[in-house]
Amino acid sequence: MRHLIVLAASLLAVFTLRAQDTLNLVTVTSENRSSIQNLTTQEPLVTVSRIPAAQAQTLEQLLRLCPSIDIRERGGKSVQTDIGIRGGSPDQTMIQLNGVDFTDARTGHQSHSLPVDSDIIGGMDLIEGIGGNTGLTGAVNVRTRMSGENYLRANLTGGRYGYAYGNLSGSLRTAGDRLTLFGAGSLRRSDGYRPCTDFTNWNTYGRVLFESGQAGTFDAQAGWQKRDFGAAGFYSLAYPEQYEKTSTALASLRWMKTAGSFSLAAWVSYRKNYDCFQLIRGDASKVPYNHHQTDNFGAHAAAGYHWRGGTTTLVTDYACHYILSTVLGDDIPTGAVPAWRLPVPGYDRTYTKWKVRHTGDFFLRHAWEGRRVGLQASLGAAISPYGTAPLWNAHLDWRPAQRWHLDAGVSQSMRLPSFTDLYYTAPGHKGNPDLQPEKALTVKTGAAYRLGPVILGATGFYRRGLNIIDWVRESADADWQCMQLTRLDTWGADLRAEYRSGTWLRSITLLYGHLWSDKESGGMISEYALDYMRNKLSINVMLSPWSDRLDLQLTGTLYDRAGNYAAADHTTQSYKPYFLLNGNLGFETGLIKRGSFRLYLEAENILNTPYFDFGGLPMPGLWLNGGLMVRL
């Protein structure tokens, strides 16, 4: 109740402020997509205008319907989520925020922890063919909304399981429309849908964009997130009272400049993460807590030359991954770490392990754009403690007719083992310090057709993975071990059909994704690489049956996962298909002066379907929430 009172007070404060704004959400389809990035394709996954306000309050929920993305949640409201791309593991997925890499080097479980809510997201893209030492299967780029408008918006939600959510955000454009300021803050909490699944999540985020004709464009962002959540069996069913506390701070500064035939870009980034994992909640005397502190530094520079034959670009990146831990890494040599950094903040412990890893890459890229055909290719190398590895990609775009768009691409990628893969040793888990980098060759082709309100699309791909890292065990009673699969071949296809209309039937979208892998487990139980989403079929309907102010969205999805899992009774079980139905009903009006407000009711898992994304971890049944959004 205390949390709701605080959030309500924040909401009421909105009515005392006045800001000039329009009433509609802004469609953001492209932002800061520099032509000098070394990428093969950038495919829009989510665009904010296609989603009713407050339909989903986490970025993971926005991505859940995408056929090429596998969202595996361990708790309610995406409190702990793994994001995989086309059969890949979370460690193989690069996570970007406005084009800047903020992937966690310790574990893919933390990479999704960005301090942003769906309220401030303008869109998300899938990037494939990206180079470097991360992102074997690609990257998900989250773009925050920078509309250039002045506005203030508040969102307040409450619902089942003691759920409360509040978000306050705003944007201001000044200095002759050259300076844009944006800020947001939120609180999300719940008592949990079963024992030890309670959580509290704080987010704060700010971004500054300054456009100067002579000096170029400066883009700065910073954010902070604090999460505490019960992790009932999240990482081991044998321990139902697990608990985790994390805090993440990140920041970046980017500069872009065009001077005649040259394009220049550079940015620096920093991400710091604290993690405290409790195998037995609140009792370190039985099993000591695991503490980790990671620092990720990044730098990027690129120079492009535009000439008659296209654009030629030289790109280089550098990253430093630094970890202090009580369990991960090598023993800290005497004097290697300053004494003031050794104590664990807030606990009577000291870090005893550490690891520092420096990586880099460079690319030479060329792109040419004709009236109907576009070509681009890059050649480069990734440098790491494991040596130097060649990386390359090539891509073709072809528009044979006005309504058609065809594309094809091929890329060579790699990924270094995470610190958890290498060093994590705990009851039931054993890391492997002898792991080598993963490598993959991916071929992809796609087609899109649009005729009036109808949009059709198809994508097919093949990925040949070598030295694929996975956590496996021989039986339900055995320990998890980190091992490398010699080869993992994956085929897949995504299909999309969409009808958009200005009538009461706003849109209907049908999405289907299929994956198949030829690597059998040979009796081994896999945690990631072999437990891929085999089939995903979704239908999304958006209606305004009674008036333009009232909208209804219904989404039904059938999930079919391959692989098996170890159940709580120590038997091996196969994943079974399940169907989820979600709905959102909203009423929006402009009755307040120079603004609007929206009332909404959302229902997750309307049919109360028993299901789980990870074997043995039951997810919530019917979850009802209601809320109010105000925009000035």
- Residue 10 backbone phi and psi in degrees, to 5: -65, -40
- Give the chain's domain count: 1
Q: Is the pLDDT of residue 591 over 70?
A: no
Express each pLDDT in 173-206 by its tens digit: 987 788 999 999 999 999 999 999 999 999 999 9
Taken in order 16, 20, 24, 28, is the CA torsion positive or negative? negative
Task: Tell me which of 10-19, 72-81, 521-530, 574-583 is least confident.
Answer: 10-19
Higher pLDDT, 213 or 364: 364
Between CA 55 and CA 57 the distance in angstroms is: 7
DSSP output for 32-51: S--TT---SEEEEEEEGGGS
How far CA 278 is from CA of 230, 234, 246, 326, in Å, comes to 10, 11, 11, 13
Confidence category of residue 431, pLDDT binned at 50, 70, 90: confident
Single-letter amino acid, residue 575: Y
Confidence category of residue 606, pLDDT binned at 50, 70, 90: very high
pLDDT at res. 6: 39
pLDDT at res. 578: 96
Higher pLDDT, 261 or 112: 261
The percentage of the chain sitting over the pLDDT mark of 70, rounded to a whole number, equals 89
Contact predicate 529/561, CB 8 Å: no
Work out the average pLDDT over 380-405: 94
The mean pLDDT value of the chain amounts to 87
Confidence category of residue 51, pLDDT binned at 50, 70, 90: very low
pLDDT at res. 235: 85
Q: Is the pLDDT of residue 34 over 80?
A: no
Express each pLDDT in 398-418 by its tens digit: 999 999 999 999 999 999 999
Neighbours of 170 (CB within 10 A): 20
DSSP output for 415-442: EPPPHHHHH-EETTEE--TT---EEEEE
Domain, as residue range, for 187: 2-631
Q: Is the pLDDT of residue 263 over 80?
A: yes
Cα torsion at 88, 93, 98, 102 (round to 10°)?
170
Structure tokens belonging to residue 8: 């309500």
Confidence category of residue 108, pLDDT binned at 50, 70, 90: confident
* Range with top average pLDDT, 122-126, 191-195, 475-479: 191-195
Confidence category of residue 53, pLDDT binned at 50, 70, 90: very low
Confidence category of residue 364, pLDDT binned at 50, 70, 90: very high
Query: Which of 299, 332, 328, 14 has its CA nearest to residue 151?
Result: 14
Confidence category of residue 571, pLDDT binned at 50, 70, 90: confident
CATH of the domain at 592: 2.40.170.20
pLDDT at res. 274: 96
Confidence category of residue 23, pLDDT binned at 50, 70, 90: very low
The percentage of the chain sitting over the pLDDT mark of 90, rounded to a whole number, equals 66
User: pTM for the whole thing?
Assistant: 0.89
Q: Is the pLDDT of residue 468 over 50?
A: yes
pLDDT at res. 544: 86
Higher pLDDT, 567 or 522: 567
pLDDT at res. 58: 83
Confidence category of residue 475, pLDDT binned at 50, 70, 90: confident
Neighbours of 388 (CB within 10 A): 11
pLDDT at res. 519: 67
Helices first, then strands: H and E counts in the chain: 4, 35
Contact predicate 3/187, CB 8 Å: yes
Q: Is the pLDDT of residue 15 over 50?
A: no
pLDDT at res. 536: 96
Q: Find all residues with CB under 8 Å of 274, minimum gap 6, and list them.
A: 245, 246, 247, 248, 291, 292, 293, 345
Q: Is the pLDDT of residue 312 over 70?
A: yes
Q: Is the pLDDT of residue 594 over 80?
A: no
Express each pLDDT in 485-511 by its tens digit: 778 899 999 999 999 987 888 899 999
Q: Is the pLDDT of residue 20 over 50?
A: no
